[in-house]
Chains A and B, each alone.
Chain A
Amino acid sequence: EPEVTQTPSHQVTQMGQEVILRCVPISNHLYFYWYRQILGQKVEFLVSFYNNEISEKSEIFDDQFSVERPDGSNFTLKIRSTKLEDSAMYFCASSMTSGYNEQFFGPGTRLTVL
């Protein structure tokens, strides 16, 4: 069964460093998303992406965040200058349509900022 994959599974970085989280969405899906979940808290929407541009972003997704689909398979989230409060699980998700919007999540990347 097709699935969303994410790398790395765990990333440790120093505050102020840049990190890139990578995702390979399900191959025939057209809509891509990033969510994050701080330990013990809700899953929070960050950004949606369709047709090579951002469709919607949350207030969390400020100028230090960016997304890119550099080729036909990868979807990346870049955090330019990490802060302690960026420590969280980051989940990539994809869906075939935006209609009923069944989203399938990848296994996540645990980001630890020291």
Chain B
Amino acid sequence: QKEVEQNSGPLSVPEGAIASLNCTYSDRGSQSFFWYRQYSGKSPELIMFIYSNGDKEDGRFTAQLNKASQYVSLLIRDSQPSDSATYLCAVYNAGGTSYGKLTFGQGTILTVHP
């Protein structure tokens, strides 16, 4: 069973701080890694994706990937109360018989308090 694991939290950070969200995955063949944000009762919203080892920055968000350690993380700088949501890590393996299936973690609840 190919799994994606996240710390369910809740993770609570003060406004303006850096929030660090972590994800590990078991399928070594995974090639693409996605971070989605999900507000309560809403659908997943794609915020970042990463394919190569290292860091990728987009505004206040930085995704970090370490394929050797099977680890992907998301940093949110200058956290705002509007960032309070559940953050979902999703993994894709394009090889073998997979045709588009994203495997999701259970999500980390982030609360940013003023």
Contacts and interface: CB of A to CB of B under 8 A. Distances in A.
Interface of B: 31-32, 34, 36, 42-46, 49, 51, 88, 90, 92, 94, 97-107
Contact residues on A (Cβ < 8 Å of other chain), bracket = 20 to 34
A95 interface: yes
A56 B99 contact: yes
A58 B44 CA distance: 20
Interface string A75-114: 0000000000000010100010011111111111000000
Nearest to B51: A100
A98 B99 contact: yes
Contact of B99 (A42, A55, A102): A55
Interface stretch (A14-22, A44-52, A65-73): A44-52
Given A43-B88, A91-B44, A98-B94, A58 B100 contact: no
Contact of B43 (A56, A101, A102, A106): A106
A103 B44 CA distance: 10
A100 B32 contact: yes
7 contacts: A43-B88, A43-B104, A50-B100, A98-B99, A100-B94, A104-B46, A107-B42
